[in-house]
Homo-oligomer: A and B are copies of this chain.
Amino acid sequence: MTTTTDLRLDRDTTNCSIARTLEVVGEKWTLLVLREIWYGVSRFSDLHKMLGCPRNLLAERLRKLVEHGILATETYQEDGSRSRSRYVVTAKGNDLVPAVLGLLQWGDKYRADPAGPAVVNRHRGCGAALSVQVRCERDHHVPAAEVEIGPGPGFRTKADPEKVA
């Protein structure tokens, strides 16, 4: 990853999509809660059992994820129990899959268990293993060294934070 324009030092850093995403999912446990729900765990007590995190944090993280529309609650009722609610991932939540699989892929490569990864992801139907890739619109595979960062429409400088590029 390199840069041609000098975004370096007078860039206004308040408009950053990475930071904005981390505001929502960057706290401890949040992405692991999502992991469990993707893996099929949906009830509060099961999530707590799997994660081993404090119950109040689990409640808070779930509340925030629901607030942001990443999770939704569904009510369900088992025979001989009262109705309860469970958590499911929305389409907005599913759009986090590439980012999270990116983290998973890095962990598989650099911090793997001696026995190998605990889970593998495949393309349902086709059965082939998955990878997360950076591609350009012309469908070239883009390695990190060929990523070029340039100012976008919302680019601002520190000197003049009103004016957009």
Whether A77 is near chain B, meaning CB under 8 Å from some CB there, is: no
Is the pair B115, A15 in contact by a Cβ cutoff of 8 Å?
Answer: yes
The bracket for how many chain A residues form the interface is 35 or more
Residue of B nearest to A95 (CB): B106
Inter-chain CA distance A123–B103, complex, in Å, is 22
What residues on B are CB-neighbors of A105 within 8 Å? 17, 98-99
Q: Which chain B residues lie closer than 8 Å to A133 at the CB level?
A: 98, 132-135
Tell me if B3 and A150 are in contact (CB < 8 A): no
Q: How far is the CB of A6 from chain B (nearest CB, A)?
A: 8
Provide 6 A-B residue pairs closer than 8 Å at the C-beta atoms, listed in order of the A residue.
Answer: A7-B39, A13-B52, A17-B104, A18-B31, A98-B102, A118-B154
